[in-house]
Amino acid sequence: MTSDPTQPRMALRPLAAGGLDDVVVRDVSMFRAELLNETTLWLACYLPGTGVVDDRVGFEVSVRDGRLAFDVIERPAGGVSVEGM
């Protein structure tokens, strides 16, 4: 499914203080974003070809202590190669 099988399907690169700094998700079949409230955004990338129906990686972007926080809240259930976290 990935265009380059030598590369990980996802890269989740963390900040030293926690949360995410950089995210790469390859070969996404659908992207969704939903504003949950004034300070929280939910994001999901659906991943075809993992052997799991509607497999996805989910993220939350929120405001904490006046700063943006970016976290992985759901990991894919299928065999997905991940760099980082």
Q: Under 8 Å CB-to-CB from 65, ≥6 apart: which residues?
A: none
Instruction: Tell me, yes or no, whether 25 lies in a domain.
Output: yes
Instruction: Tell me, yes or no, whether 40 lies in a domain.
Output: yes
> What are 34's two structure tokens?
């939903």
DSSP state string for 51-72: SSTT-EEEEEEEEETTEEEEEE
Q: What's this model's pTM, rounded to 2 decimal places?
A: 0.86
For the segment 54-68, the average pLDDT, to the nearest whole number, is: 94
Q: If you search the block for the tokens 């974003």, which residue do you land on?
A: 33
Domain count, the chain: 1
Per residue in 23-50, pLDDT (tens digit) is 999 999 999 999 999 999 999 999 999 9
Which residue did the predictor score with more confidence, 1 or 54?
54
Instruction: Tell me, yes or no, whether 16 lies in a domain.
Output: yes
**Residue 62 domain boundaries:** 10-77
Q: Which of 69, 51, 59 is nearest to 10 (CA)?
A: 59
